[in-house]
Structure 1
């Protein structure tokens, strides 16, 4: 009898954890597996490994597209299920890859809307108080838009990663657990200093090295996102997600004339293609600013 997808998926999760995959990544992968499993059940098919046929997977992806899912979502689901399938093949649970020949959805890059200075100011005003949550959220907001780090990197910060005495930097553990030092400005330093003093009195201060503390302990990436969403509602502005701060940092760096090589290092990018992706958010604006500086037509 063929194994249930839930059973082999549990083994796969253990393998992913052993490979030090982040909880966020595992969650994304499992969304695809669980959605495919649910699709099998809805179509009166057994949710087993035998259900992973080329026809079933292609039909499932087609149904997702027909339901109006964005190409980016389709690509994420494709990649998540394909990771699972390739693991099954490597573990001899499947003889061959049933997704061979199935192409992922083509995603046309969309410029990410930038967070305006006005919206950032509104967000900061929601946490100008002296409560612990205010001190923490003010510091989180300033770290996100001043340093341009990923939300997972922000959530993963520990006390020892913040250097206020000597270099005004945070040590960030990026993808692949590669460490890099990211500087911050005076206002972010002040916000961090105020937060650290407030953190001393938190009831869980001595139980964990996690920098950002919530009710139950250190904040996860979802916890940081939740804190941001709360401030967005309080500010009465449109939805903002944490990654927009990262795009905004890249745009501001380039529009101010910062070097691409330095930006690549600060952002923790290995590929130059990321410069194109992040730089596209307001490329026209930067091109116009460069044109005005050069004034090529005025030389004659």
Structure 2
């Protein structure tokens, strides 16, 4: 019964929810973890016979072996999705996950770069090196558009609509969005395109990718991470920096500047507004520090 239910769930995620293969596999891993736990407990029960107590025992088990609260919450979300599917298909009559609660997770505020720090990192790029203009265009695009690193390395030339000031991005779950791109980013993209990228090696099949390595293939996540870490070090920035830091900074600076949260959500490609709302917490901290610095009652 588990095998057929899991196969049906996979088809549902792929066909009806249009999730990417990686997302589907993540859901299935969650269910396999549950079935492995049940086997350890000597329970060969079918999905419809699982109780709330069984599921609570499973969550206690993964907590005891060291699974972080955020990972526990994601695991519970996957199990809830599985049982929601079984209920909607009338494969079970009662959903045991209804009262299953996720652990309380403390939302960690990410490090954010100031505009001056971002300028310092961009200024640290050595334009005399072959990859200099590529790296400058890359950082300008990351900060100007708030891209995930996966979206940056997957960016295609045919998705650049620079005459209208937009780029097309394929994000999580293969969802497409159009994002405005700033003048500086467009300027340095053009310099990179007309110079290094045009004269460099391009491997067959990768002609449409924007950011290429010296061998003519798309940059990897690790390579982008290393480039940004090195620039942060050169610029003397001691914060915990990653490509995602530029995305956080993009969103935070928009919110600090008074941007509508829904517009920020759209540009970031967040499915839920609650994900975007983390930047209002960052904004509140910014307001608090501003008051402490400039208001006489706070000095």
Instruction: Tell whether the structures are fold-level matches, with TM greater than 0.5.
Output: yes
| TM superposition score normalised by structure 2 | 0.72
**Residue deviations 1:157-210, cap 9 Å, x none?**
33222133x244323356784533312231x22442344344455444555644
Identify the residue that residue 18 of structure 2 maps to in structure 1. Answer: 20
2-structure distance, mates of 1:203, 1:156: 15
The residue matched to 1:32 in structure 2 has which SS? helix
Runs of 5+ consecutive residues of structure 1 not aligned to the other structure: none
Higher mean C-alpha deviation, range 24-33 or range 80-89 = 24-33
5 Å-filtered alignment, 1:143-162, equals: 143-162=141-160
Selected match of 2:189 from 167, 181, 192: 192
Look up the match of 2:254: 253
Q: 1:287 deviation in Å?
A: 4.1
Instruction: Provide the rounded CA distance (Å) in 1 between the counterparts of 2:69 and 2:203.
Output: 43
Instruction: Name the structure 2 match of 1:283.
Output: 284
1:78 is displaced (CA, Å) by 0.7
**Deviation per CA, 1:118-175, whole angstroms, max 9, x where unpaired?**
477458747756446x6555433332222223445445533222133x2443233567
**Distance in 2 (alpha carbons) for counterparts of 1:50 and 1:265:** 39
Superposed counterparts of 1:207-226, under 5 Å: 209-212=208-211, 223-224=220-221, 226=222
Match status 1:169 vs 2:157: no
Cα distance change, pair 81–112 in 1 and its aligned pair in 2 (3 A): same
Task: State the secondary structure of the residue aligned to 1:15.
Answer: helix
- 1:86 matched to 2:47? The reply is no
Secondary structure at the counterpart of residue 280 of structure 2: helix
Question: 2:181 matched to which residue of 1?
Answer: 183
Q: What's the offset of the Cα at 1:79?
A: 0.5
Where does 1:22-171 land on structure 2 (aligned, <5 Å)?
A: 22-46=20-44, 49=47, 52-115=50-113, 118=117, 121-122=120-121, 125=124, 130-131=129-130, 136-164=134-162, 166-171=163-168
In 2, the alpha carbon distance for the partners of 1:249 and 1:289 equals 19
The CA deviation at 1:59 is 0.9
8 Å contact kept, 1:135–1:191:
yes
* Distance of aligned partners of 1:140 and 1:167 in 2 relative to their CA distance in 1, 3 Å threshold: same
* 1:18-68 deviations in Å (ceiling 9; x for gaps): 232134533442342233233334444449646844332211111223344
Q: Distance in 2 between matches of 1:48 and 1:196?
A: 58
8 Å Cα contact 1:112-1:244 kept in structure 2: yes
Distance 1:127 1:60, change over 3 A: farther
Contact 1:126 1:234 in 2 (8 A): no
TM-superposed CA distance for 1:218, in Å, is 5.7
After superposition, the Cα gap between the structure-2 partners of 1:272 and 1:99, relative to the gap in structure 1 and judged at 3 Å, is: closer
Normalised by the length of structure 1, the TM-score is: 0.72
Q: Is 190-199 or 208-217 further displaced after alignment?
A: 208-217
Give the number of aligned pairs.
285
Shift in Å, 1:81: 1.7
Q: Distance in 2 between matches of 1:48 and 1:274?
A: 35
SS class of match (2:147):
coil
How far apart are residue 85 of structure 1 and its match? 2.2
**Residues 279 and 247 (structure 1 numbering): CA distance in 2 closer, same or farther, change over 3 Å?**
farther
